[in-house]
Amino acid sequence: QSALTQPASVSGSPGQSITISCTGTSSDVGGYNTVAWHQQHPGKAPKLMIYDVNQRPSGVSNRFSGSKSANTASLTISGLLADDEADYFCSSFTSSITYVFGTGTKVTVL
């Protein structure tokens, strides 16, 4: 199974909005509403930020939102804060009854 495709890096200034894409196939992203987004600070475990394409777990800021169109999912972070600087990984369930992660995106707050 191939990793989902994400841009290597995205940057923005404090207060701005950024969007990270996650491209897969009809066998994963396009076929299921199970896209999730995880935030990972250096040396830390990933933290779930979005699940089921656009659902936020309790305690996650509403500055984080998700969407999907065909085989591409997106994570938008609005009102960018310094603490948003981290790596972000998407994930999806697949038709092979497996899970696949994205290649990861490093978000830099300028």
What does the block give as tokens for 65? 């939102």
Site membership for other proteins, residue 72 (CB under 8 A): no
Quick one: how far is CA 75 from the chain centroid? 5
Site membership for other proteins, residue 100 (CB under 8 A): yes
Sign of CA dihedral 22, 26, 30, 34: negative
**Minimal distance in Å, beta carbon 86 to other proteins?**
13
Instruction: Say whether 81 sits in a helix, a strand or coil.
Output: coil
Give yes or no for a contact between 93 and 99, defined as CB atoms under 8 angstroms apart.
yes
Site membership for other proteins, residue 61 (CB under 8 A): no
Residue with the two structure tokens 């310094």:
82
Radius of gyration of the chain (CA): 13
Window 1 to 60, contacts with other proteins (CB under 8 A): 1, 3, 32, 34, 36, 38, 45-48, 51-52, 57
Binding window for other proteins (CB under 8 A); candidates: 12-20, 64-72, 73-81, 91-99: 91-99
The residues binding other proteins (CB under 8 A) are: 1, 3, 32, 34, 36, 38, 45-48, 51-52, 57, 89, 91-93, 96-104
